[in-house]
A = this chain, B = another copy of it.
Amino acid sequence: MKQLLLLDKDEQLLRVDRVVKGMKAAGLDAVLLADNASKYYLTSRVYAGYIYITSGGKVICAVQRPVELNGPEVAYIRKPEELPSVIGVMPRSLGLELDTMSYNNVERLKAVFPDATIGNASAIMRVAREIKTDTEVEMIRESGVRQERVYRRVPHLYREGMTDIEFQVEIERTSRLEGCLGQFRISGDTMELFMGNIIAGDNADAPSPYDFAMGGAGMSPSLPVGANGSEIKPGMTVMVDVNGNYTGYMTDMTRVFSLGDISPEALKAHECSRRIHRELAAMGRPGTEARALYERALEIAREEGLEHLFMGHRQHARFIGHGVGIEINELPVIAPRSRDVIAPGQVIALEPKFVVPGTGAVGIENTYLVTSGGWTCLTNAPEEIISLR
């Protein structure tokens, strides 16, 4: 038998308390969570089943699989209809993850709790997870250190005549050998992401079905994003945006490479991205509105005459940054209509990028920890465009 809970007691209480606060604010007696991200946050383990939390802070882990988990909070069930027998007092109001749980699963649970008013637990969990605990920050920091190690090796992985996808495969291998877990949790209905993307030259301007900063045609219309198999050639940029998930917590970093010199316009845009990073990191003190950061970034791009290339050329992304943690797209969102406010403990991936026709994508992405004193960069590979030869 193994203990289900892998978090130490204080850490678990801290996380449960955040969820309890959110459920009280929403007027809910309890939440019943099924998302892997939620279960991992609250137990540091992924299992099939549910976690049930009352506004009094009582936790019940209703487990379907795997066998042999143990602990005072563990109750095995075969199906959701058995939940009432393990939770005791039935809640009058119950939060479910209505943004991610399928319609039919919610309806099934409604029938299990016929007298409960149903509320939305998705927003509660997003807000609870927005501010990272010290333990979470350490796991993110570790992810950043290992991702940095991979990025420092990237220039040595290039061989003359390589295509973008061949280069990507060697970077993926290096990342996996460094301990990358492979899978990236992503929130949202139809977004699909493999390990990240390498985008060379004008492939950056191929519009994507996802709300990604850069597109790429992909290798197949079934996965229309990223590398398209074109050979890396002098004059192109090669944008490397391969995600870091080494600990169950992610960091996001992008760097740009080339074969020798690239156009002055692309160099200028790359430096503009770095300037946006410096200015926003200095400006983004706790209390700053996320949308003010977006507006300032756009203003800088405009000042430098690069607005038309900012966050895409034929198609533009609608954000320049996002929280990261257990999932690659958490709060806050740095976007024009965001209502988020910068606060200590947020971890933010900032990615002001440009697409320069004839050259490709430029700009960097870093993951920052917000503290009361300012932003700390967790992804410290060199920021200049590095030549691969």
Contacts and interface: CB of A to CB of B under 8 A. Distances in A.
A254 to B, nearest CB: 19
6 contacts: A65-B211, A67-B207, A102-B189, A103-B103, A172-B176, A182-B195
Interface residues of A, number: 63
A34 B188 CA distance: 12
A234 B210 CA distance: 47
Given A194-B183, A209-B65, A222-B181, A102 B104 contact: no
Contact of A98 (B40, B102, B210): B102
B67 A314 contact: yes
Given A104-B120, A247-B220, A207 B68 contact: yes
Nearest to A37: B222
Given A207-B68, A209-B46, A221-B248, A100 B102 contact: yes
A209 B173 contact: no
B314 A68 contact: yes
Contact of A223 (B46, B172, B177, B193): B46
A44 interface: yes
Interface in A28-53: 34-36, 40, 44-48
A182 B165 CA distance: 11
A247 B99 CA distance: 31
A101 interface: yes
Interface string A162-191: 000110011011001101011101000110
A283 interface: no
A88 interface: no
Given A221-B6, A315-B66, A209 B48 contact: yes
Contact of A173 (B169, B181, B222): B169
Contact of A103 (B6, B96, B185, B220): B96
A243 to B, nearest CB: 13
A102 B103 CA distance: 5
Contacts of A107: 98
B181 A192 contact: no
A95 interface: no
A332 interface: no
A98 B108 CA distance: 12
Nearest to A168: B176
A65 B312 CA distance: 13
Given A34-B190, A169-B176, 18 more contacts: A35-B190, A44-B221, A45-B221, A47-B224, A66-B207, A66-B224, A67-B207, A67-B314, A68-B314, A68-B315, A100-B102, A101-B103, A101-B189, A104-B122, A172-B173, A173-B173, A181-B223, A182-B195
A230 B109 CA distance: 40
A376 interface: no
Closest 5 CB pairs of A and B: A222-B248, A66-B207, A182-B194, A103-B106, A98-B103
Nearest to A176: B169
B177 A166 contact: yes
Contacts of A203: none
Contacts of A165: 176
